Amino acid sequence: MAGRMEGKVALISGSTRGIGRSMAEMFAAQRARVAVTGRTVEKGEKVVGIIKDAGGDAAFFPLDVTDEHSVRDTIEAVVGRFGSLSTLVNNAAPTAEVAQTVKPLAECTTAEWDRIMLGTLTGNVFWASKYAWPHLSAADGASIINVSSGQSILGITGFGAYAAAKGGVNSLTRVLAVEGAPSGIRCNCIVVGRVVSGRGDTGVGVGDKTGGRLTRLGNPNDIASAAVWLASDEAEFVTGSFVTADGGMSINGDAIMSS
C-alpha cells in the first residue's frame, strides 16, 4: 500500500542509524516528506541520499536533543523547509551514556542520572513535543510517536535511570494524548524489545535461543512498520495506546517460570 503517509511531514529524532534510520526510509517510501535528524552530518546526509535515490523527499537537520535551543531551532527549520509538521517521532536515546552506566541504582551518580533523563525524557519528549505542538495543532492528521523500551515495564538490574526515563515516556504518552485531543493530535508509544541493529550487533547477550521471546529477535524494520501504522490515517482511532513490539518477551510467563 504505497502512499499511506502521503501529505505528511515527519520529523524523526535519532534517524541517522538503527531504528530511526529504518523509520526514515520506510516513512519516505510511504510518501511522507522526512526530516532526518541527528548529531552526525555525514550519516544523516547518507540516509537522505538513500531516500532521494529511491524517489523520496528528505532533508537532514542537525539535532542534539540535550540542547533545548537545538530542539527548538531544528523544529522551526523543518517547518521552514517543508511548510508544516504533522508527525513527530521521539526516537533519540543516549545509547552510549546508558551503556556506560550499567550499575545498581545506588551506585549511579546524580550527574549520570541527569544525563540519562535529559537525553531520554526531557529533551527527546518534553522539549520536542513542546516546540512541535503549535505546528502539529495546525496540521491535519497529526500525531506523536514516542519510542519506549521494554525496560520501562521489566525490572532489569543496572538500568534504573533508563527504566525510570522510559517509564516517564510511557506516562507522558497518555498525558499528551489527552491534551492533544482537542487539537486533533494523537499520541502513541512503541515499547521496543531486543532489536538487533547495526553491523556490530550480533544478538549476543540475550540469554537462551530466543531470550524469552515467543518469536525471534527483532530488527529495525519491525519497529518502523509499527510506526508507519501509528502515523498513518489507518490509526486515526488510536491514541494513548502502547504497541509492544518485543516478540512476546514481556508476556511470556512460561519463560519466567522455567528460569
Q: Which helix (H) or strand (E) holds 88?
A: strand 87-90
Residue for grid cell 510467563: 253
Pick from 47, 36, 24, 71: nearest CA to 231: 24
Neighbours of 218 (CB within 10 A): 21
Q: Do residues 37 and 11 touch, judged by C-beta distance below 8 A?
A: yes
Annotated catalytic, 131? no
Amino acid (one-letter) located at 157: T
Q: Do residues 172 and 116 touch, judged by C-beta distance below 8 A?
A: no
Catalytic residue among 162, 187, 212, 246: 162
What's the half-sphere exposure (Cβ side, CA atoms, 13 Å) at 223?
31
Residues 6+ positions from 187 with CB-CB distance below 8 Å: 143, 144, 145, 146, 173, 176, 177, 180, 239, 240
The residues annotated with a catalytic role in the active site are: 162
